Amino acid sequence: MPKFLVIVESPAKAKTISKILGKDYTVKASVGHVRDLPKNKLGVNVRKNFEPLYELLKDKEPIVAELKEAASTADKVFLAPDPDREGEAIAWHLSEILDLPKKKVHRIEFNEITKDAVLAAIKAPRQIDKRLVDAQQARRVLDRLVGYKISPLLWRKVNGRSAGRVQSVAVRLICARETEVDSFTPQEYWTIKAELSRAKSKTFFSAPLSKWQGKRVIAASEKATAQTTVIDSKKLADEILKKTEKQEFAVASVTEKVSQRSPQAPFITSTLQREASTFLGYTVKKTMQVAQTLYEGVELPEGATGLITYMRTDSTRVSQQAQDDAKKFIISAYGKKYYPDKPRVYARKGKSVQDAHEAIRPAYPERKPESLKQYLTPDQLKVYKLIWERFMASQMASAEILTRSVEITAGDAVFRASASEKKFAGFTIVYDRLTKDMATDSESQPEGEEESEEATNLPELTKGEKLKLKDFKPDQHFTQPPPRYTEASLIKTLEELGIGRPSTYAATVNTIVDRKYVERQQKALCPTKLGQAVNALLVEHFGNIVDVGFTAEMEADLDKIEEDKVDWHLMLKGFYQPFNETLKKAEENMNKVLILSDQLCPACGQPMAIRSSRFGQFLGCVGYPECKTKIALTKEGKPVPEDRPSEELCKTCKSPMLIRYGRYGDYLACSSEECTEQRPILKLTGVDCPRPGCEGHIVEKKSRHGKIFYGCSNYSLNQCTSAYWYPPIVSGGPNNSNKCPQCGTMLVYKLLKRGDQVACAAKECDFAQPITGKETYAGQKKDTPTEVTV
């Protein structure tokens, strides 16, 4: 019988640790929290010093029973949830529920799931840190008080679904930015470039106007001073051109400067989320889900293996062992000159930084992404590559950049051109490959970098040299409004303001989107009418709750509880007394708000208002209760369309079929009230299912997460499992066919950043070739799939 029991949160983590510890240890998973505040009531005894009233989660009762049985026969119980406040709280709840002698229960933690880290933790157990537990309890109780006290009021007054200590501040920031965008007035300004060349050369280079009459030329969006000027009209631009075009252009100065470009620190949670959003287009939620699988363990030939360190951290610290491993790899792979004179140390400043953990880094720096490609999913590989390259670059030598700058005078005008080249690649031998391979659009820039305009074809020039003017290029511009927040920029702002923590950012963004306070428009986060109405009420009646400074102070107080500088009960008491008074005033003074839509009631002609229920949003007549008309809304917030006729007949009763809208979109339903036949509307691609013996067709489908894939029409009937993420080739493949020339199965069109390919759909076949441009494939914009039913 195993002597020891180890309890972790997730089954995947349990599997990885079990392989490390061997037969003397039983490793079981609690599958997250086993105890929490009740869902259907406040669950906090305010009068009894804010005592939380925890209850065992219903779905965790079998798991707890299993853990109790295993703990009763074990010599020692090691509690190994994640190394943060939430993990400490889970460990404490487990210790309370298992009700074991203190000497039998041990808390262990590790930042990475490697053999060395896990065995070291087993050798150095500790007691549960009650300060961490109290900090988590205070945060949980505080969030519950705010949510359960304000949310019912919002429901009654504005059909808002909820309020939250951090989410409401996030919504306020997004609404404030929207106000800035709406009120923005564009300002005109002009830039002027001179196309110049050497006297006997036919190669021209571009030099922007940098000074006019001794003042630096700036854009209208920049801060003006007595030493700057803005070309704010075409009239002024034309005047400058007229005065300058006949002047002699001469090189006034040539300077060369070698600068050092240092690498950035390894990832913390927020920077990983931002970079994954910028380079990969991932949502915060997706990034954390993928990182979690890399941390808990991926199946490799040697078994389940954790590939990265713990992914919820705000520390840039790196362990000595990791630094040594990185040094060894860098010198071996790139040479001694690519390693700095001394190891790099990244220190983060700020009251809210928790330095107990390491930065996010690969658990085994020597494992290059390419070596793991066959074992990881595409998403896992992309995130691991992001983490590996960022970490490796952070430990490397700086790049050396040579910048040549030339100033050219022409009367009252000074033009300036510059060009840069790498003298030594340094860390960019890793980082530049990252930016080229992984940027999802041409506008993406690596975090912390700005695009600078440089001259192409800048020749070697000498001071005093006369240049030839080819032409001027005056361009009109208008200042742009501040950009709307994206997930990445919102997280950056919340972090800079000291609001929320690494473990809360993903949940915050998901909540405000799920509550319909905010909607995604491409990458931008825009407030809905409901979000703006809720925000206006909260700002008016609960100013402190949505105040950035107040919320940041609350976060700081929560951190002080962890440092044992503040008693959590006193902190909650200090918050609750004024909050309760504010709540009473809001109950008396808050007026009900109707959010009107553009729709008119089909029954009485009055406006329809956006309302909410536990099933989602709908439109209700403002004449309620006299008029009870309701109109359901789609997920996009548009009125559900009425039933439409189709050309299909019911297979059961031969009655006409209607196109009807349901929770997953349009489907076919029989028009006869006595018949219940329903079936999906399928989009044929024109390609037959390649599975031998299957008579189905490949159709366009959507996953439950809304992602398009292609599967057999018999897929939903459980008769065939053929399914593909890439669209099938319809025609124009090799030999003008849609069949693989090697194995004869179906071909698919792979849209890849490194270049689109035609490839075999069969996993066991390696046929792939670049596209020729003659291929047609399912879902092509010029080809709309035919809607039919099968």
Helical axes 130-158 vs 85-98, angle rounded to 10°: 100
Phi-psi region of 462 (alpha: psi -120 to 50; beta: other; left: phi over 0): beta
Alpha carbons 736 and 585: distance in angstroms, whole number: 75
Structural contact between residues 177 and 482, judged by C-beta atoms closer than 8 angstroms:
yes
- Exactly one of 54, 189, 282, 310 is catalytic; name it: 310
Alpha carbons 146 and 138: distance in angstroms, whole number: 12
Q: Is 181 helix (H, G, I), strand (E, B) or coil?
A: helix
- The string of DSSP letters for 344-358 reads ------STT--TTSP
In this structure, the chain runs to a length of: 790
Residue written as tokens 């009900």? 592
φ and ψ at 252, to 5 degrees? -90, -35
Q: Which amino acid is at 583?
A: L
Residue written as tokens 């800079």? 496
Alpha carbons 417 and 539: distance in angstroms, whole number: 49
Q: Which residues contact 602 (CB under 8 A, 6 or more apart)?
A: 629
Residue written as tokens 């303001």? 497
Alpha carbons 118 and 110: distance in angstroms, whole number: 6
Alpha carbons 93 and 121: distance in angstroms, whole number: 20
Structural contact between residues 535 and 172, judged by C-beta atoms closer than 8 angstroms:
yes
Alpha carbons 201 and 739: distance in angstroms, whole number: 55
Q: Which of 8, 6, 16, 4 shows the shortest CA–CA distance to 82?
A: 8
Q: Structure tokens of 646? A: 């189709």
Structural contact between residues 249 and 217, judged by C-beta atoms closer than 8 angstroms:
no
Q: Does 310 participate in catalysis according to the annotation?
A: yes
Q: Which of 412, 422, 421, 410 shows the shortest CA–CA distance to 460?
A: 421
Alpha carbons 149 and 146: distance in angstroms, whole number: 5
Alpha carbon separation from 254 to 418, 467, 770 (Å, rounded) = 10, 14, 46
Q: How would you label 376-405 residue by residue, b for 16+ Cβ within 10 Å and e otherwise?
A: beebbbbbbbbbbbbbbbbbbbbbebeebb
Name the CA dihedral angle for 482, 483, 488, 490, rounded to a multiple of 10 degrees: 50
Point out the residues that are catalytic. 310
